[in-house]
Structure 1
Amino acid sequence: MKKRGRGIGLSFYGTGYGNGFPDASKAKVKLLKDGKVGIYVGGTEVGQGAKTVLSQIGSETLKLPLDKIIFISEDTSLMPDSGTAAASRQTYNTGNAIKIACENFKNRLREAAREQLKLNGIHGLAVEKGKIFLEFFPQKRISLKELSKIYGDDNIEAEGEFIAQTIEMDPETGQGAPYWPYTFNACGVELEVDTITGLVEIERAVFAQDVGRAINPQLVEGQMDGGFAMALGYVLFEDLKLEKGKIYNNKFSKYLIPTAMDMIQVENIIVEEPESTAPFGAKGIGEPVMIPVGPAILNAIYDAIGVRITELPVTPERLIKAIEEDRKRRYRWKEL
């Protein structure tokens, strides 16, 4: 017999290391040859799209086309530390460091332009589209390309640092502000449970994620799809079968993970409510996109069959066992 159920899951997640732990990111920006700009950060790209988003933040701050940005993050001899690619912190922390470094870099460009244009000061000088010019007299201008020829590589540069504000929780009361900012999300799932075979089929899913501001909406949706797929595997498929310290499902022929055939088209909803302390309002969502999916699936299973599952993954064998145990409990209660 097949039974349908619906469930929702909600979560909030604090980005960064939190709890008063030092959480700093640094960045360096340099003028390169041909008027291109190098952004140097020790922020690792692990497939989350950090290079793209951080380049976009630099591009927007400098009002410079993305193809004029050279993003360098692999060589630790060339760049300052931007912290780990963990805790969903790179967009917020390192994005802020890059924005600060770019603002400082713009002031360095203005100083160089003031000198070359023989101006009294830097006030009124705008930096946009690879040019530095007087806003009230645009004919007075000089390009980044010209400055790079005059000053050479690496001679106009600036740095930026951002330290996330967190407070250590009081060990006595458990009170405090361990994280800032927080991100919020909600997931709704509709599924079908086969009470004969124990199979669970996800029929529909809706996922709403607060992002502050979506620097790159396609990457945001990619993260949301990826988080859903990971949670799907965690809840329904992936079982190490650890017994007395030994892993029995130690190969992919035994350790099952969801494939494209197991995924469905998730209805993603990007919620934008800009965060005032974030770069252009953007918050990190690397890890939180996985959190509400599992509870939504488990709640939907409960809605379908009236049995709470407390052990993961919900394999067909465990589901059938849970249904049978619930049936026996009900029968014993009737006898009493």
Structure 2
Amino acid sequence: MKRRGKGIAASFYGTGYGNGFPDISIATVGLEENGKISISVGASEVGQGAKTILCQIGAEALGIGIDDIRIVHEDSNETPDSGTAAASRQTYNTGNAVKLAVEEFKKRLFEAAKDELKLNTSLGLEAEDKEVYLKMFPQKRISFEKIAKGFKNRGKKLTVTERFVAQTTEMDGATGQGAPYWPYTFNCYGVEVEVDTETGKVDIISAVCAQDVGRAINPSMVEGQVEGGFAMGVGYVLFEDIVLKDGMIKNNKFSKYIIPTSLDIPKIEKIIIEDPESTGPYGAKGIGEPVMIPVAPAILNAIYDAVGVRINELPASPEKILKGIKER
């Protein structure tokens, strides 16, 4: 007999290192000879989309296309320290550092354009399509490339480096109270499962994931993060189990270590909740790890709703579910 059940789970998650630990990101923005903009950050790309997001933040601040930005990363000879690709911090922390650097870069770019255009002030200058122009008299304009040549002729290069320090305070060791993280992100997941009472097998029929993102700089990538996090959560709760014996991993091959496939993941309804974070780059928050957290409890709650068995040890294998059904 197959029985269905539904379960929900909600979580909140503090991004960044937290608990007073220094959380600093540094970014350098430069004007290249061809008029393109370089963004140098020590932000490792591990599939979370940092390269794309940081380019989008820089492009937005300068009013240029993302193709006009060259990102330099993962090379310690060329990049400043932007902290680890961990704690769901790169979009918020390094995104803020990039935004600060680009904003200061823009001021200096306008000052250089003012001198080249022989204006008495940079007031009223705008940037668009790799050109700086005077808004009240658009014919008065100069390209980024020409500004770069002006710097080169003087043996210089226009570069700006800025740092962003996240707000975090150390918790009180005696009471456990404090504000260790900022910002926090929130989510709520719901799933429907089908449990075979004869085999103990669990199939996920449907899922809905509501995720607070602050501001979705790239909605498609947000949805990809949700799907990836959900798949990892499914593996954690239903399939993955490291078998140790005498300190040795017995199932050390993918033929023995079971992970979910695309056939195990249902169609996921994704709800992006946008409540801009005032301290974030264009209101954005990081969601790398939070998307995984509610998956397991939501599925376990759905199993309990279906067959009345509470699983307290993962993975929730068919054997454990059958044992629980028999004991019940």
1:49-104 per-residue CA deviation (whole Å, 9 max, x = no partner) reads 11001110111011111111001102211111000000000000000000000001
Contact 1:224–1:268 at 8 Å: present in 2 too? yes
**CA–CA distance in structure 2, aligned partners of residues 31 and 299 of structure 1:** 54
Q: Which residue of 2 aligns with 1:320?
A: 322
Contact 1:29–1:37 at 8 Å: present in 2 too? yes
Q: Which residue of 2 aligns with 1:260?
A: 262
Letter paired with 1:140? K
**CA–CA distance in structure 2, aligned partners of residues 200 and 217 of structure 1:** 31
**CA–CA distance in structure 2, aligned partners of residues 128 and 207 of structure 1:** 38
**CA–CA distance in structure 2, aligned partners of residues 230 and 28 of structure 1:** 34
Q: Which residue of 2 aligns with 1:333?
A: none
Letter paired with 1:131? E
| Structure 1 residues 193 and 218: CA distance shift in structure 2, 3 A | same
Q: 1:180 aligns with which of 167, 179, 182?
A: 182
The secondary structure found in structure 2 opposite 1:208 is strand
Percent of matched pairs sharing the same residue: 63
Q: Which residue of 1 aligns with 2:207?
A: 205
1:308-331 per-residue CA deviation (whole Å, 9 max, x = no partner) reads 1001001111111122223xxxxx
Q: 2:271 aligns with which of 269, 272, 277?
A: 269
1:132-177 per-residue CA deviation (whole Å, 9 max, x = no partner) reads 1222222222110111222239611111110000111111111111
Letter paired with 2:17? Y
Contact 1:30–1:154 at 8 Å: present in 2 too? no
Q: Which residue of 1 aligns with 2:56?
A: 56
Contact 1:275–1:282 at 8 Å: present in 2 too? yes
Q: Which residue of 1 aligns with 2:14?
A: 14
The secondary structure found in structure 1 opposite 2:45 is coil
The secondary structure found in structure 2 opposite 1:80 is coil
1:238-275 per-residue CA deviation (whole Å, 9 max, x = no partner) reads 01122443322111111100011211111111111110
Q: Give the aligned length.
A: 326
Contact 1:210–1:272 at 8 Å: present in 2 too? yes
Q: Which residue of 2 aligns with 1:71?
A: 71
Unaligned runs of 5+ residues in structure 2 are none
Letter paired with 1:241? V
**CA–CA distance in structure 1, aligned partners of residues 47 and 82 of structure 2:** 17
Contact 2:309–2:321 at 8 Å: present in 1 too? no
The secondary structure found in structure 1 opposite 2:272 is strand
1:175-222 per-residue CA deviation (whole Å, 9 max, x = no partner) reads 111111010001000011111101001001001100011111111011
**CA–CA distance in structure 2, aligned partners of residues 183 and 280 of structure 1:** 16
1:1-336, aligned counterparts within 5 Å?
1-152=1-152, 155-326=157-328
CA RMSD of aligned residues (A): 1.2
Contact 1:31–1:154 at 8 Å: present in 2 too? no
**CA–CA distance in structure 1, aligned partners of residues 285 and 36 of structure 2:** 28
**CA–CA distance in structure 2, aligned partners of residues 99 and 17 of structure 1:** 20
Letter paired with 1:103? E
**CA–CA distance in structure 1, aligned partners of residues 54 and 265 of structure 2:** 29
**CA–CA distance in structure 2, aligned partners of residues 57 and 242 of structure 1:** 45
Unaligned runs of 5+ residues in structure 1 are 327-336
**CA–CA distance in structure 1, aligned partners of residues 41 and 202 of structure 2:** 44
Contact 1:198–1:320 at 8 Å: present in 2 too? yes
Letter paired with 1:148? A
Letter paired with 2:180? P
1:114-139 per-residue CA deviation (whole Å, 9 max, x = no partner) reads 11112222222222221112222222
**CA–CA distance in structure 2, aligned partners of residues 272 and 279 of structure 1:** 13
Residue 111 (structure 1) shift: 1.4
Q: TM-score, normalised by structure 2?
A: 0.97
**CA–CA distance in structure 1, aligned partners of residues 242 and 175 of structure 2:** 38
The secondary structure found in structure 2 opposite 1:312 is coil
**CA–CA distance in structure 1, aligned partners of residues 166 and 138 of structure 2:** 39
Q: Which residue of 2 aligns with 1:330?
A: none
